[in-house]
Structure 1
């Protein structure tokens, strides 16, 4: 029995309404920027009263927090599924992770912009929440993959004091045996993956590439080979 089948009719209706609210919010953001997300605007479009929609999300910030949590978890799920379905060698797993990042971002541009674009004006994030948990899955997963793919421990001169204390604590909690050199390398790997994806999602590759997928794949192959050259 699926989760939806176990839900009562009232719970299903609430879940459907919540999904509609979040879908419209992402569209508002895509059309007019992150500051355009408005509970009252969503209520008007759905034919709801403001009072009714506040029964789902008490504030705009609560809605944005839920959106960021859902989007981040969706990305983490996609990355982990691609990694786990890939051949067992580290290079293939890292390639699968990188390909999944681009595929997810191209399929979910509004969500990508929400998480990795400009901050939503006036938004005050809460403390620890689902987005932070998903972020640790993404960060920890990439750190492990980079550590696995390294042919030898990098000698890049980084040490733990080179990282902010909060980030250092999270990284070491997720991957206790990670060295600071590999942690720095993983940040650089993320930058190379993330850079081309961001250029594509924000429309900056249109003038320079007719095949951004091929361009990105070439970058991934070069990246993985730089970690563990293949014979």
Structure 2
């Protein structure tokens, strides 16, 4: 005779599997039809479920989108944090390179996720108060600032004439980065944004297919840009 505990465990496992499949199908629909293709009815149709059945997993489309964004940001944060932590602390060039390579590798492996959090907005989506992925998005933001913090002892002389002040930045950004890096000046936060623009820009062009007819090897282009960035920061690679 099957115990109540076994029955409950099986139900929970099936629910988790169905929830994961719903998220997978949602991203597949986005990949083929853009963000507007993410609807609960379309997902139910793809999975052979009734619309009423899928509402038992996500009450609204926005609930699903919030869960997707949280999962995607968490996956990205875990990936770049692991790469950063694995690189040798005394070698800022190696740490920046490890983070940057992990970011590109993750984006290429998760193009729909990249587009969801950094590209195409989901029309009409309203995130919950505090954001869709507050903890994971915070980790990515502070990770980007950590790149500038690692470079700052080398780069600071190049920015001695910077006139950035704290009021030049969004208060929400400062709420994230200043507690984590209280000794960094405004110029270093500006540097973090410039580093981010270098890395994000090329990856975004690659994800959206804009480098296909321009570069035989987008990977080579990205790595050369990364090497040039490290040189521009005044860092001498130790390896």
- Largest Rg, 1 or 2: 2
Runs (5+) with no aligned partner, structure 2: 1-7
The aligned counterpart of 1:3 is none
The answer to whether the Cα contact below 8 Å between 1:136 and 1:174 also exists between their aligned partners in 2 is no
The aligned counterpart of 1:201 is 207
Q: Which runs of 4+ in 1 moved over 3 A?
A: none
TM-score by length of structure 1 reads 0.93
Residue 120 of structure 1: CA displacement? 0.6
The whole-number CA distance in structure 1 between the counterparts of 2:77 and 2:143 is: 9
The aligned counterpart of 1:190 is 196
The aligned counterpart of 2:3 is none
Residue 99 of structure 2 corresponds to residue 97 of structure 1: yes
The whole-number CA distance in structure 1 between the counterparts of 2:88 and 2:172 is: 34
TM-score by length of structure 2 reads 0.90
Q: How many residues align?
A: 225
The aligned counterpart of 1:164 is 170
The aligned counterpart of 1:13 is 14
Residue 152 of structure 1: CA displacement? 4.2
The whole-number CA distance in structure 1 between the counterparts of 2:136 and 2:14 is: 26
Residue 84 of structure 2 corresponds to residue 78 of structure 1: no
Q: Secondary structure at the match of 1:48?
A: coil
The answer to whether the Cα contact below 8 Å between 1:73 and 1:130 also exists between their aligned partners in 2 is no
Residue 176 of structure 2 corresponds to residue 174 of structure 1: no
Task: Write the mapping of 1:73-152 to structure 2, written as runs, cut at 5 A.
Answer: 73-88=74-89, 89-129=91-131, 131-150=133-152, 151-152=154-155
The aligned counterpart of 1:4 is none
The aligned counterpart of 1:38 is 39
Residue 212 of structure 1: CA displacement? 0.3
Greater mean deviation of Cα atoms: 124-133 or 217-226: 124-133
Runs (5+) with no aligned partner, structure 1: 1-6
Q: Secondary structure at the match of 1:61?
A: helix
The answer to whether the Cα contact below 8 Å between 1:28 and 1:36 also exists between their aligned partners in 2 is yes
Residue 187 of structure 1: CA displacement? 0.2
The answer to whether the Cα contact below 8 Å between 1:69 and 1:129 also exists between their aligned partners in 2 is no
Q: Secondary structure at the match of 2:56?
A: coil
The aligned counterpart of 1:28 is 29
The answer to whether the Cα contact below 8 Å between 1:91 and 1:228 also exists between their aligned partners in 2 is no
User: CA offsets, 1:33-86, max 9 Å, x none?
Assistant: 101101011112212121111111000010001000100110001101111122
Residue 158 of structure 1: CA displacement? 0.8
The whole-number CA distance in structure 1 between the counterparts of 2:234 and 2:185 is: 17
The answer to whether the Cα contact below 8 Å between 1:82 and 1:100 also exists between their aligned partners in 2 is yes
Q: Aligned to 1:221, which of 216, 221, 227?
A: 227
